[in-house]
Structure 1
Amino acid sequence: MIKRILVVVLICITASAFAQEGNSSPYSFYGLGLSNFKGSIENQAMGGISILGDSIHTNFRNPAGYGALKLTNFTIAGSHRETNLETNTESGSNNSTTIDYLSLAFPVSKRLGFGFGLIPETSVDYEIIEGNDNALSHYSGDGGVNRVFLAAGLELFKGFRVGAEGSYNFGSITNEIIQADADQQYSVREIDRSDIAGLTYNLGLQYETTYAKRYKLYTSATFQPETSLTLENQRSLQSVIYSGLDRAVVSVVDSQDFSLADTKSIVPNTYSFGLGTGQVNKWFAGGQIEYSETSKSSNRSFDFTNTSYEDSFKYRLGGYFVPDYNSITNYWGRVTYRLGARYEETGLLIENQSIDEFGISFGLGLPLGRGFSNANLTFEYGQRGTTTAGLVKEDFFKVGLSLSLNPLRPWFVPNKYN
């Protein structure tokens, strides 16, 4: 089993650079790119809510959840997204496949748990060509920010847990602009690169209590304090030979490199609150709201008169249902069925238009073998943006898959027999 896990880890590390480019969206040009969802595939299936303290799954969005762990959990996830893009005059499509996260979480006692892992935090992935064969502008970008985290959760008393997470963020983003004119011998290419590094933190609370003898009430809260990431910026100006047929640079004639001043990117204060109810291993329903001071955000080394930021709000609803958790003869009775919806005001404004996003999701938690391990599937349909003011509207369909692997007993319980 250990050898298999190590093979998976090596595959994921090899794929980490590829995982940064996962949105294929023109809106990933702004700021540090589009924020990837920071929760698990199980969370995504329920609209992104992360209220529950789970004994066998990792909660990436609230570190207090590590205090509820009863078994070691190794989890890995990936997703595939198909996107249709349209403006008032044109349309197109693209697709992307990514690794979403990799983590290991484990209890060290009945009330204390730890976890660590790697999550692609933001992604930049776009290519836009404007103009005709006589004169065109070719815009492209790739990269993003990854986050390595270490988290711990502690149950102070029955049902009340606290947690903290520290993360090191790193990555690079490259933006490229090519101006090609049939009347000019050479085209002009500008390449801007930012290398990004910095620390972020997240604090969490969870509380659950029983009422009416068999029902439970769940509450959660998280707070991410404001920090900043450091960006080391470089620029290269080049004279190039550009092939309009292949839409690519054939060769570089001349190049000049410039070191730009370092800049800071604010990671704003972010708050979330959640409330839900249900029966353990039977059903759950809840809602969550998140507020972030994204009005403090800015673009990296670019200034645009048509772009600004405002504070963002995210609203999530979701839940799950298990027909018969202990069924021996009915496999589908032990499956967890999840459903959710979300609406997000991202805080990005272009031409005074708010770039909002919504999604509806459905998922399945499929038991594996005789233990607590499971595979989780998520299907989501969503929209981002608008065609107003010449902007782009995106319709996307996403399929996500995670493996959540658990041993049959906590690692700190000794064997009774050799």
Structure 2
Amino acid sequence: MKNKIAFIALFFFMTTASFSQSISSSPYSLYGLGSLYDSDFGSIPSIGSSGIALPSNRFINNLNPASLGFMYQNHFLFDVGGKAIQSSYENISTKENRNNVQFSHIAFASPVTERSAFSIALKPYSSTTFKISNLTLPILDSQENYVLSATGTGGLNNLDLSYGYRIGKKLALGISTSLLFGNTIDDRSYTISNSVTNIYKKTNYSGVRASLGAQLKLDSTFTLGMNLKSPTKINATKVQSVSSVNNSGTTTIESELASDTDDYFIPLEIGIGVSKVFKNNLNVTLDYGKGLWNSTNQSDLYGNFINQDKMALGFSYSKSKNIRSYFDRIQYATGFNYDTGYLEVDNKRINSMAISVGVSLPIENTFSALNITYSYGQKGRISDGLIKENYHKLSLNLCLDGIWFVKRKFE
């Protein structure tokens, strides 16, 4: 059976990895580093992406490195995930549908001592995938217009290294280091009368970000959690080519010219969470997060960065422990989250909200489980210059638990 599980994990990883280049196709990925990616592990997508106060005793919790301090000894956790998304984009005059499959994450966690554990995870951080076709815009201080066509691809990856340590039986502290790297490609053409200017720009990004976390178990049913993500600078360099096409032919203005460009700043982010278990069956999680984007003192060509507020609420239910029936061991979950967003376009926030339902299907008599989540969400609004995005998302996370260095009771 264990060989079958390993085969399923390998097949699942190969399948999702083959789609790793097909990430977000949101028009809002035009801004900044692109659309920020929600790579939640285990059953976290089912509970509205909440869980800052959940310990990592049965799954890897990517929301708080301190959760690793409560990981069981001799248990080694592996988590891999993917998503299928059906999206629709609508403005005042048009509507468009798109489908894509996305790689979500691959992660591994292992105990170090009886009180500590570490994890390593690879996941997307942001995605840039947009297309603008024949958009007519006015020329400033002129009666003329120009026509813009543009495509964007790429994004950043996040290699995350985390360590958690438990002090006594109730308090755990954690630290995480995120290595951010990747590139974006922006290919644009500007048409004025009979002249077309083409600008091809590839921007490379790299940076390091540290995070701190804490979890406090007040009793066996009530846990508090906190995380703190440090502000950081993402270094940027670009390679740009510029050419002009008119009645006289093609003129190369720049050819793969390397130069520095404006660095990107990620702000201080603070999150707090609570987890409460009622009658050993119902677990309620509630998180609140704040992103201080105003303090970065940066702006986008098409909008402004503003402070961000996020709220997530989740409910999960499972029957009492030591249930022999397989169906009685299934966990059911639902959740809701709301995000004010960190962008303001034409004095309007780009906010989002989503609801989710899911199940956690156990595999064998271990912590291994297949987590299936359905989510419906909205982002943006229908108004002049803005687009409303609606999506249906199916998330699959496979969590495998291996028990090592334990002597067999029977040979």
Structure 1 gaps, min length 5: 242-251
| Cα deviation code 1:137-176 (max 9, x no counterpart) | 3221111110111111111111211111112110001111
Q: CA separation of 1:292/1:222 partners in 2, compared to 1, >3 Å: closer, same or farther?
A: same
* Residue 128 (structure 2) aligned to one of 124, 127, 135: 124
* Residue 14 (structure 2) aligned to one of 11, 28, 31: 11
Q: 2:155 matched to 1:154?
A: no
| Cα deviation code 1:221-278 (max 9, x no counterpart) | 000111111011222113479xxxxxxxxxx985722323243211211000011210
* Residue 336 (structure 1) aligned to one of 331, 336, 340: 331
Please tell me the residue identity of whatever aligns with 2:315.
Answer: G
Q: 2:188 matched to 1:188?
A: no
Q: Distance in 1 between matches of 2:280 and 2:203?
A: 47
Aligned to 2:141: none
- Indicate the SS of the match to 1:108: strand
Q: Distance in 1 between matches of 2:353 and 2:13?
A: 34
Q: Distance in 2 between matches of 1:298 and 1:360?
A: 33
Aligned to 1:178: 189
Q: Across the two proteins, how many residue pairs are aligned to each other? A: 394
Structure 2 gaps, min length 5: 137-144
Please tell me the residue identity of whatever aligns with 1:56.
Answer: R
Aligned to 1:34: 35
- 1:349-364 aligned at under 5 Å gives the runs 349-364=344-359
- Indicate the SS of the match to 1:48: coil
- 1:286-325 aligned at under 5 Å gives the runs 286-297=285-296, 304=301, 306-325=302-321
Q: CA separation of 1:9/1:342 partners in 2, compared to 1, >3 Å: closer, same or farther?
A: closer
- 1:18-417 aligned at under 5 Å gives the runs 19=20, 21-50=22-51, 51-70=53-72, 71-131=75-135, 136-180=147-191, 184=194, 187-210=196-219, 216-239=221-244, 254=252, 256-257=254-255, 258-279=257-278, 282-297=281-296, 304=301, 306-329=302-325, 331-407=326-402, 409=403, 411-413=404-406
Q: CA separation of 1:90/1:297 partners in 2, compared to 1, >3 Å: closer, same or farther?
A: farther
Q: Distance in 1 between matches of 2:173 and 2:8?
A: 29
- Indicate the SS of the match to 1:89: coil
Q: Distance in 2 between matches of 1:171 and 1:391?
A: 28
- Indicate the SS of the match to 1:289: strand
Please tell me the residue identity of whatever aligns with 1:388.
Answer: S
CA contact under 8 A between 2:60 and 2:77: conserved in structure 1?
Answer: yes
- Indicate the SS of the match to 2:341: strand
Task: Tell me the TM-score normalised to structure 2 length.
Answer: 0.88
Which range is displaced more, 252-261 or 395-404? 252-261
Q: Distance in 1 between matches of 2:279 and 2:171?
A: 16
Q: CA separation of 1:280/1:263 partners in 2, compared to 1, >3 Å: closer, same or farther?
A: farther
CA contact under 8 A between 2:227 and 2:272: conserved in structure 1?
Answer: yes
Aligned to 2:139: none
Task: Tell me the TM-score normalised to structure 1 length.
Answer: 0.86
